[in-house]
Amino acid sequence: MLHIRNVTCLFGQKAAVDNASFQVDRPGFVGIIGRSGAGKSTLLRMMNRLTHISSGAIIFEGRNIASLQGADKRAWQGQCAMIFQQFNLVPRLDVAANVMHGLLNRRSTLATMFNLWSDADITRALEILERLGIAEQAPKRAEALSGGQQQRVAIARALMQDPKVILADEPIASLDPMNAQIVMDTLRRIHDEDGRMVVVNLHTLDTARRYCDRVIGMRDGRIVFDGTPDQLTTGVARDIYGADASFSETATSTSIEALGRAGDDAYAYAEQMLA
C-alpha cells in the first residue's frame, strides 16, 4: 500500500533523511520515534510533498508520489492530510469555518474568500465535529478553545478532506496528558473505524508502545528500528535515542528548535492551502 524506497532529503550536504526504506501493506497505525533532529518531520513532509525529495521513491497504491507535479501533486495532498503540533488553525475564525478549510484545495479561491460554503459542506463539518465530541464548539473562535479541543478541530479539518492517509507530526507534544490521550484515542478511532492509514511522529516511547501497531525508529536521518511495540525493548530504545544520558522515556520536544520548525510547518501549510 505504502512503500518508502531509499528516500533521501538533503539540505546542502546534510541528509535530514538518509536512504530510508519501509513498507506498510495495509492501512496501519504507524508511529515514528526518535530524538529531536532525527528526521521524523522531514520524512512526513516528504510524504505529503511539503519538502523536496532528493532521491528515492514513495509509492502509494502503485503511484510514485515523489514525481507528482501540479494538479496531481495537489490532489495527493488532498488525500494525505497533515496534523501539526501547533494545530495551525486560523485563530480568529470560528471552529466550523476552520474545519471547512479542509476543503480548500478543492475549491476556487473566490468561493473561499467569500466563505461561500455549501449547506452540504456545513452539515458535514458539523457531523465530523459531533463525531469528535466537540459539536458545541462549532460557533466559537478557534482561539477560545483549549489546546486539546483545538487539536480535535485540526483532526476534524483533516477528516473534512476525506483523506486516505493522516500524517500527524507530534500531535500531542503541546498537550497535557489527559488531552494527549483524548487526541491519540481520536486518531486511533479514525484508523479503526474508517480504515485510514495514520502515520504519527511521537517523541515519547510509552505513547508509541500503547497506540501503534508498528513503530519505526529514526536516528540521524536513518531508520534504525522497524518492528512491533513488543520488540521495542529498553535496549532498542537506547539504540534509537542514543546511549548517552539524554535518553529518557519521558523526553519531550519543547526545544527552541522544535518550536521554530513548527512555525515553518504553519507557513508551509498555509502556502499549500492557498496554492
Ligand X SMILES: Nc1ncnc2c1ncn2[C@@H]1O[C@H](COP(=O)(O)OP(=O)(O)O)[C@@H](O)[C@H]1O
DSSP string, 32-62: EE--TTSSHHHHHHHHTTSS---EEEEEETT
Which CB atom, from 38 or from 47, has the smaller least distance to ligand X? 38
Tell me whether residue 37 or residue 229 sits nearer to ligand X (CB atom).
37
Give me the amino acid identity at 103.
Answer: L
Q: Are strands 14-24 and 2-11 parallel, antiparallel or unpaired?
A: antiparallel
Report the nearest approach of ligand X to the CB of residue 171 (Å): 13
Amino acid, single-letter form, for residue 249: E
**Closest distance of CB 96 from ligand X, Å:** 31
Distance CA 134, CA 144 (A): 13
| Binding flag, residue 42, ligand X (CB under 6 A) | yes
CA distance 121 to 123: 5
Three cell numbers, residue 23: 513498507
Residue 48's binding partner out of Mg ion, ligand X, none, with CB under 5 to 8 Å set by partner kind: none
217 binds, among ligand X, Mg ion, none (CB under 5 to 8 A by kind): none
Could you give the dihedral angle defined by the CA atoms of residues 231, 43, 262 and 220, in that order, rounded to the nearest 10 degrees?
70
User: Of residues 233-272, which lie at the interface with ligand X (CB under 6 A)?
Assistant: 261
- Binding partner of 37, given Mg ion, ligand X, none, CB within 5-8 angstroms per partner class: ligand X
Q: Cell triple for residue 181? A: 490521550
H-assigned helices in the chain: 40-47, 70-79, 95-100, 109-113, 119-131, 147-160, 177-194, 205-211, 234-241, 256-274
Based on the shown chain and the rule CB under 6 A, indicate whether residue 148 belongs to the binding site for ligand X: no
**Whose Cβ is closer to ligand X: residue 195's or residue 263's?**
263
* Pick from 66, 70, 130: nearest CA to 275: 70
Interface size with ligand X, residues (CB under 6 A): 11
Q: Which range in 39-47, 111-119, 230-238, 239-247 contacts ligand X by CB under 6 A? A: 39-47
34 in contact with ligand X (CB under 6 A):
yes
The residue (of 63 and 238) whose beta carbon lies closer to ligand X is: 238
Q: Which residues bind Mg ion (CB under 5 A)?
A: 40-41
Nearest CB to ligand X, comparing residues 37 and 147:
37
Rounded least distance, CB 105 to ligand X, Å? 23
38 binds ligand X (CB under 6 A): yes
